Amino acid sequence: MATVTYSKATRIYAGTERPAVDHLDLEIGDGEFLVLVGPSGCGKSTSLRMLAGLEDVDEGSIYIDSRDVTHLPPKARDIAMVFQNYALYPHMTVYENMAFALKLRKTPKSEIDRRVKEAAALLQLEEYLGRKPKALSGGQRQRVAMGRAIVREPQVFLMDEPLSNLDAKLRVQTRTQIATLQAKLGITTVYVTHDQVEAMTMGHRVAVLLDGVLQQVDTPRELYDKPGNVFVAGFIGSPAMNIKTVPLTEQGAVFAEMIVPLGREQVAAAQANGGDGKITVGFRPEDCDLVGATEGGLPVVVELVEDLGSDANVYGHAALDGGSERFVVRTDRRTMPNMGDTVFVKPRTDHYHAFHAATGQRL
Amino acid sequence: MEFEDISPKLVMLLYGLVGFVVVVGGLLLLLDTVPAFFGRRRERRLVAIAAGDIPAPTRRPRKPREFGYALFFLFPVLVLLAIGLVVPAIRTTLLSFMNGDSSEFVGFDNYNWMFTNDDAVKVLLNSLLWVVLVPTVATSVGLIYAVLVDKARLEAVAKSLIFLPMAISFVGASIIWRFVYAYRSEEQDQIGLLNQIVVWFGGTPKQWLLDSPLNTLLLIVVMVWIQAGFAMVILSAAIKAIPADIVEAARLDGVTAWQMFWRVTMPSIRPALIVVIVAITVATMKIFDIVRTMTNGNYDTNVIALEMYNQSFRYQQTGQGSALAVFLFVLVIPIVIFQIRNLRKQREG
């Protein structure tokens, strides 16, 4: 059991200007399940590998509990990692794969046997212990990789996109398995994924990264309800939030024919720092209603309707401030429009997100 | 030089050229026109069937047709194989049971000679020494080099340095190494590297290639020098093919460099290792050029392939030469079978 602390941890790859990970400050509590999420190349895997000791830390430090592990070799950090491609030893059986680390540490045979059998029981791998990895399915290999981490009884689990090689159904199933397992074992876990659904469903807290910079770290609910900046707002949630930059008046943001009311302080903040009379507002697709043609909604020409069974996502374009802007609305199945229809969209003005037009910070 | 002098040669050359064009061109033409002919016939047939002129075939006559095609394409290869490989193999086997000028059968006399005659036994022992030492030493050297040089600076340069000998013919390599081992009497300047080194350290120069068994070992060094590069290249590629995450997983599991080599690297490159050892073993069994060039098999350095050549073509003992050839052939077979099974297993696995 341990806490993990990144303190201004920075990684700069040789020959590049921009750091892959830029002064990362992050504290992970004991037993916490923290998810690092972001688009490709945002530095999430690099951050994890820095903690694992597979990547150098060029500046700053990393602590496990109060122990400075910044320059320790991987094996001295008491961590276990699950790799994207599982990285099982192909020449060893499942049992040997799981026992390998313990064997290297000269753990007594009976102890190794007990731990491997326990982990195998936990992961329903008992009947496969004698098999080589190539005789296993993808899901089974994934579980062996988990088992290999579990038998180590490490202070921290690191998982680098462990589900990305599984098919959709198995991924959902394994997702819950991992979350349950982590809750049961109570081992601090850092989990990297590019899939925001995984991030939102598994993490106690989620850290969003972009271009090596930490954008926001919070519980999934807070992240969804109060995204800290435009990037987080657009990244979290599917379909993505409708984010538009519109003119600003004393009363609020001018959104097509509507006024999105803003507080006095918000307006003042929006005008400072080069706001230039503009403001960025965002509405989640489910925070919009389809209204009648005369009720003052924004006319949107429907281009695509995704019928999800319970409800539907409506994609279309609308004329806004002289440009054509993309809109997504989640609607009830009963009011589902057809392709080519014009629907009238009215955002609920009490469920908006406002951001500074230049800095992108939440107001 | 008068034209009359060389005209017969030119005529011969012309014959040769015409012969080449006729045979090769004929084959090419045949390979082109015959399938096209069958194709057109088949097409006409299909058109006729479609037009309803003739009834569609009820049973499928394709099987024999395909067999015919296969036979047609195999024919040139089968003929060449028969002429170049099968007939000589059978003939050699027959000759090995006959006397020197192949005039009468002598049963197993030649084989008896091979395993009892002192000189012949010495040849077999030398060959054994070669087959034991070259694959093990060359593979070990290649492997160690591949591991040491992996991800080092100037890796490409370091690798081409050790790979270059592969590009030299065995005879060329032997000549180079004969210079290395060259001897001049003490009063003269040494031209051989090895003797010069000995002199620098205050020793007396030596005729390296005269003393058995040291001379055989010195010849083996030449072969190792050539083959280590081959081993290095294949093994280096195999090492690079080990997935990076497996190496990282091992580092997290806490392996030392030593354990990494024996528990992760070695098992991962096992298939490549087998390929290398087998290839070098087969090449070593057939070794001829190095011994022939450096000592011509004198001073107890003779090996099977050279002795086979000497018996057959120098001493006109075709029977004994053939017996040696058959023995060599029999030795290689199990290795080749092992290799094929190994490859097949890999393909399935």
Size of interface A-B (CB pairs under 8 A): 59
* CA trace torsion B340, B344, B347, B348 (10° rounding): -170
Question: Which candidate from B254, B263, B267 shows the least CB-CB separation from A105?
Answer: B254
Q: Measured between CB atoms, which of A75, A87, A134 is closest to B246?
A: A87
Judge whether A302 and A314 are in contact, CB under 8 Å.
Answer: yes
**Is the complex ipTM more than 0.85?**
no
Residues of chain A in contact with residue B251, where contact means CB-CB under 8 angstroms, are 53-54, 73-75
Confidence of residue B49 (pLDDT cuts 50, 70, 90): confident
Average predicted confidence (pLDDT) for chain B: 84
Q: How far apart are CA A295 and CA A278, in angstroms?
A: 26
**Domain A241-356 listed as CATH 2.40.50.140:** yes
Q: Is B16 exposed, middle or buried (0-12, 13-18, 19+ CB in 10 A)?
A: exposed
Count helices and strands in chain B by DSSP H and E runs: 16, 0
Residue of B nearest to A52 (CA): B252
End-to-end Cα separation, chain A, in angstroms: 38
Residue linked to tokens 């011509």: B296
Chain B residue at shortest CA distance from A83 = B245
For chain A, give every domain's residue range.
4-231, 241-356
Across the interface, of A75, A88, A105, the residue whose CB is closest to B252 is: A75
Please give the pLDDT value at position A33.
Answer: 92
Rounded-to-integer distance, Cα A219 and Cα A237, Å: 14
Dihedral sign for Cα atoms in the order A37, A43, A45, A51: negative
Whether A134 sits inside 8 A of B349 (CB atoms) is yes
From B248, which residue of chain A is nearest by alpha-carbon distance?
Answer: A54
State whether residue B263 is helix, strand or coil: helix
Q: Which residues of A touch B254 (CB under 8 A)?
A: 74-75, 101, 104-105
Q: Does B253 touch chain A (CB under 8 A)?
A: yes
Task: Return d(Cα A252, Cα A258) in angstroms, integer.
Answer: 10
- What DSSP letter does each residue of A331-347 carry, written as one string? EESTT---TT-EEEEEE
Per CATH, the homologous superfamily of domain B118-348 is MetI-like (1.10.3720.10)
Mean pLDDT calculated for residue range B198-219: 82
- A147-195, pLDDT tens digit by residue? 999 898 888 999 999 888 888 888 888 888 889 889 888 899 999 998 8
- Position B62 pLDDT exceeds 70: no
Q: How far is the C-alpha of A157 from the C-alpha of B273, rounded, in Å?
A: 36
**Is the model's pLDDT at B348 over the cut of 70?**
no
Which pTM value belongs to this model? 0.74
Residue A94: CB atoms within 10 A of its CB come to: 27
Cα gap B226→B170, rounded to integer Å: 8
Which residues on adjacent β-strands are paired with residue A159?
A: A82, A191
Write out residues in chain A with pLDDT < 70, as ranges.
1
> What does the pLDDT read at residue B1?
55
Residue A362 CA to residue A241 CA, distance in Å, equals 14
With an 8 Å Cβ cutoff, are A101 and B253 in contact? yes
Substitution target from A48, A55, A72, A75 for chain B, most B beta carbons within 10 A: A75
Q: What is the CA angle B131-B135-B137, rounded to 5?
A: 115
- CB within 8 Å of A47: residues ≥ 6 apart: A6, A9, A11, A21, A24, A26, A36, A192, A209
Residues 6+ positions from A55 with CB-CB distance below 8 Å: A11, A46, A49
Q: Is the pLDDT of residue B60 over 70?
A: no
* Nearest residue on chain A to B244, alpha-carbon basis: A87
Instruction: Give yes or no for a contact between A234 and A362, defined as CB atoms under 8 angstroms apart.
Output: no
DSSP code string of A198-216: HHHHH-SEEEEEETTEEEE
Task: Give me the residues of B, 226-245, that contact A with CB < 8 A.
Answer: 243, 245
Confidence at residue B195, expressed as pLDDT on a 0 to 100 scale: 81
Q: Which of B252, B255, B270 to mutate to test the interface with A (most CBs of A within 10 A)?
A: B252
Q: Which amino acid is at A240?
A: A
pLDDT (average), residues B232-238: 90
Domains of chain B: which residue ranges?
A: 118-348
CATH architecture assigned to A4-231: 3-Layer(aba) Sandwich (3.40)
DSSP H/E element including A158:
strand A156-160
Residues of B in contact with A81 (CB under 8 A): 248-249, 252
Flag if B248 and A54 touch (Cβ within 8 Å): yes
Q: Do A101 and B254 touch (CB under 8 A)?
A: yes
Interface of B with A in 264-293 (CB under 8 A): 264, 267-268, 270
* Most A CBs within 10 Å, among B253, B259, B270, B345, to test the A interface: B253
Phi-psi bin for A361: left (phi > 0), alpha (psi -120 to 50), beta? beta
Q: What is the distance in angstroms between the Cα of A12 and the nearest Cα belonging to chain B?
A: 20
Task: Quote the pLDDT of residue B140.
Answer: 93
Q: Shortest CA distance to A268 belongs to which of A154, A354, A139, A167?
A: A354
- Answer yes or no: do B268 and A91 touch at CB < 8 A: yes
